[in-house]
Amino acid sequence: AQSVTQLGSHVSVSEGALVLLRCNYSSSVPPYLFWYVQYPNQGLQLLLKYTTGATLVKGINGFEAEFKKSETSFHLTKPSAHMSDAAEYFCAVSGPLVGGGTSYGKLTFGQGTILTVHP
């Protein structure tokens, strides 16, 4: 079984400020973790993913996330927010296709966090 909790359905920051979007997960198999961004009336775009290896993952648009197994967290950060970062962000967890039991690589999503960036 797996689940994702995103802390804060809305986050508001000023342009140039640090962006921190929180994600905690639970998983009965080794987790693969993802962050997606969605702009209004558009599809999902992958920001970054963690599968194995280095726990600090760098993604597109200056975002990064760190997998912390002891804290079951995968928080998304960006040092300096831009107006163009305003969107909804989703954290997701899956098991691996191999060794993931019956998870079959199914993604379980958090409820999403809407990021607002103020001038």
Partner 1 sequence: NAGVTQTPKFRILKIGQSMTLQCTQDMNHNYMYWYRQDPGMGLKLIYYSVGAGITDKGEVPNGYNVSRSTTEDFPLRLELAAPSQTSVYFCASRSSGNTIYFGEGSWLTVV
Interacting residue ranges for partner 1, rule: CB under 8 A: 4, 9, 32, 34, 41-44, 46, 49, 51, 90, 92, 94, 96-97, 104-112
105 by DSSP, 3-state: which?
coil
Q: Which is nearer to partner 1, 70 or 102 (CB)?
A: 102
Q: Which is nearer to partner 1, 18 or 97 (CB)?
A: 97
Give the nearest distance from C-beta 16 to partner 1 in angstroms: 28
Q: Residue 18 has which token pair?
A: 């640090």
Q: How would you class 89 by CB atoms within 10 Å of its CB: exposed for 0-12, middle for 13-18, buried for 19 or more? A: buried
- Helix (H) / strand (E) element for 29: namely none
Give the nearest distance from C-beta 65 to partner 1 in angstroms: 16
88 by DSSP, 3-state: which?
strand
Give the nearest distance from C-beta 39 to partner 1 in angstroms: 12
